[in-house]
Amino acid sequence: MMNQKTTEQTLLSIKNLSTYFHTPEGVIRAVEGVNFDILKGACLGVLGESGCGKSVTALSIMQLIPSPPGEISSGSIQFAGKDLLRFSSRQMRSIRGKEISMIFQEPMTSLNPVYTVGNQIGETYRIHEGLDARQAKEKSIEMLSLVGIPSPQKRVDEYPHQLSGGMRQRVMIAMAIGCQPKLLIADEPTTALDVTIQAQILDLMAGLQEEMGMSIMMITHDLGVIAEISDKVVVMYAGQVVEQSSIDELFKHPLHPYSRGLLNSIPKLGDKFVRGKQPLREISGQVPDLINLPSGCLFASRCPKVEKKCLENVPQLIEIAPGHDVRCWLAG
Amino acid sequence: MIKPALSQSFSISSHPSSTIRTLKRLWHLRLGILGSLLILCLVTTALFTPWLAPNDPYTQDITQRLLPPFWMEGSSSDHFLGTDHLGRDLLSRIMYGTRISLVIGLSAVVLQLILGVGLGVLAGYYRGRVDSAISFIVNAMMSFPFILLALTLVSVLGASLQNIIIALGLTGWPVYTRVTRIETIKLNEQEFILAAHSLAYSSWRIITRHVLPNMLPTLLVLSTVEVARSIIRESLLSFLGLGIQPPTPSWGVMLAEGRDYMLMHWWLAAFPGLAIFMAALGINLLGDALRDYTDPHLRKY
């Protein structure tokens, strides 16, 4: 009974997803056996450093992995009860933009420089909803004011280079939510923005999420962003999920040494700088080579508490407490 | 639609008060202005030749043959640049030749653009096997001497204005393919193309609306240079007797005819040669100037 209820509320369910890139140097295991669910109307944060497979996971959901060399080699992506990996490219196109949308990191390059903002927002309406140019423009003005751009009547005829980074990101959001998608994938949407603008964009996204009842998958390496907007967090490392819990649990009781390291690396307000002492804490070492993965735990080479067991056997993602999974031999 | 973006990149920031800056800017523009003036002369001549030309280019007058240009002894006031071996007015023939050169230059480039850009975008957009096949053809074409290829084509098709355009078009496209392939690959890595895919736009739409308009400046510059090259190549083919056939006044034909009289009557070859030079120079200068203004890294003033 309980189980059935959760599946009804689940919008996206990723099971055992693996995405590999076949390069001349070998197979890069960018994403390996990833599992997570996104509930309806919820926001899932995906946390991890550069190259840990966050973006590849997102592109796998959209099936925009450049192929070749990329390939989704196994797993299933259930969206609203249907497996997207079994969809034809035509069926997939009916999902993209309408059911699942995506916004990107770099507001400087994510808009086409040769068209006006209105033209680009309107394009989705002209294609997907068959509106004519005038209706599309009206709709664009409406969307611009929805994403909080002042004097939208004027802005609609401006080119991307006339807008600031924050405004461009708002335009990008307007384009993405135009057809009222059920899921918005945001790939580091605030990374390239000032801190004050970051907060505004996150507020905007949280507001839109509530208003439209959509789910958000927020990909970031910034714990502050995750804390602000997400309900649940998935921590990824070297293509694997290493920890998964609610946002409060992660901040209060991080179980995986990597999550702990991430939390410790945030500079604390009020910490005194002492000469000779390291002012910022880091996680020393580097992500393992994704072509020649080490045996055992992938984090072992950087783990401060590494044991013999960690180097020999691969830990599994285990539920330690209700709703709190971790991939570590030493947890629990 | 694209115009404002282009005009923006053409606009050059300056303080309205400083005259020195303006003068500096004009000095920097000098070659571009020279090029534009040359092109203007060329196009005006081509358009209004029937009204501007002093004589009919085909009228022969054996009593007036091999007259020298106006400043030399024995020249006629009717024939500004003198006459050729059949007594035809040299200036009028050069002016009519402008038309042929421009028509061939422009049409050949249009043909090259269609073939070259089409294949280049396909190769860059789809990559993989399509790319390998197209790149192989391009490399093969580029390692073939142009003359051999063009001569073969013209001798198979027969020498006529239309066939010369076809021959120039079929031999000139690989440059465009190389350039557009790279540009497409570069653009494909931009996030707005990924965003277009994520909004489920069709490939046709992404290519025509998002990829092509963004390489317009590059293509504009390349095309101007190729117009000049096509004009020179037409002259070359005509000079070798496989291009425009006499008595049609093509610059290359005139050059070939003048060759026999070069020792005593140098102007018969010199003036058509000068015309080819001026046309090519003007187009190249304009192309250079366009490149400078469309590339923000090269824009200094």
User: Encoding tokens for residue B257?
Assistant: 């005819």
Lowest mean pLDDT among A46-50, A172-176, B17-21: B17-21
A245-297 pLDDT tens trace: 999 988 888 889 899 888 888 777 666 666 666 667 778 788 888 888 888 88
pLDDT-above-90 percentage for chain A: 18
Q: What residues of chain A lie within 8 A of the CB of B199, using their CB?
A: 96-97, 101, 123-124, 127, 175-176
Q: What per-residue confidence (pLDDT) applies to B250?
A: 86
Of A213, A259, A253, nearest to A235 (Cα)?
A259
3-class secondary structure, A47: strand
pLDDT-above-90 percentage for chain B: 23
Cα B250 to its chain centre, rounded Å, is 15
Q: Which CATH class is domain B81-294?
A: mainly alpha
| Cα angle: A160, vertex A165, A166; to 5 degrees | 115
B188-222 pLDDT tens trace: 888 899 889 888 888 899 999 999 988 888 888 88
Q: How confident is the model at residue A1 (pLDDT cuts 50, 70, 90)?
A: very low
Lowest mean pLDDT among A40-44, A146-150, B17-21, B242-246: B17-21
Helices marked H in chain B — which ranges? Answer: 3-10, 19-52, 90-126, 128-142, 146-157, 161-172, 174-188, 191-198, 203-205, 216-239, 251-259, 267-294
Question: How do the domains of chain B map onto residue ranges?
Answer: 81-294
In this structure, are residues A219 and A35 in contact, taking their beta carbons and an 8 Å threshold? Answer: no
In this structure, are residues B284 and B225 in contact, taking their beta carbons and an 8 Å threshold? Answer: yes
B contact test, residue of A84, A106, A114, A120 with most B CBs within 10 A: A114
Q: How confident is the model at residue B6 (pLDDT cuts 50, 70, 90)?
A: very low
Interface predicted TM-score (ipTM) of this complex, two decimals: 0.82
Q: What is the mean pLDDT of residues A229-234?
A: 90
Q: What per-residue confidence (pLDDT) applies to A272?
A: 66
- Average pLDDT for chain B: 83
User: Encoding tokens for residue A111?
Assistant: 């808009």
Q: Radius of gyration (Cα) for chain B, nearest Å?
A: 23
Q: What residues of chain B lie within 8 A of the CB of A115, using their CB?
A: 1, 209, 213
Q: Say whether residue A126 is in contact with chain B using an 8 A CB cutoff.
A: no
Question: How do the domains of chain A map onto residue ranges?
Answer: 1-94+231-266+280-332, 97-226
In this structure, are residues A186 and A218 in contact, taking their beta carbons and an 8 Å threshold? Answer: yes
Q: Which CATH class is domain A1-94+231-266+280-332?
A: alpha beta
3-class secondary structure, A121: helix
Residue of chain A with shortest Cα separation from B7: A114
Q: Which CATH class is domain A97-226?
A: alpha beta
CB contact under 8 A, B8 and A161: yes
Q: What per-residue confidence (pLDDT) applies to A216?
A: 92
A159-179 pLDDT tens trace: 888 888 888 988 998 888 888
Helices marked H in chain A — which ranges? Answer: 2-9, 54-62, 89-95, 117-128, 133-146, 152-155, 165-177, 195-212, 223-229, 247-252, 257-264, 308-312
- Classify strands A82-83 and A70-79 as parallel, antiparallel or unpaired: antiparallel
Q: What per-residue confidence (pLDDT) applies to A10?
A: 86
Of A323, A46, A91, A39, nearest to A209 (Cα)?
A39
Please give, rounded to a whole number of angstroms, the shortest distance from the CA of A62 to a CA of chain B. 7
Q: What is the model's pTM?
A: 0.77
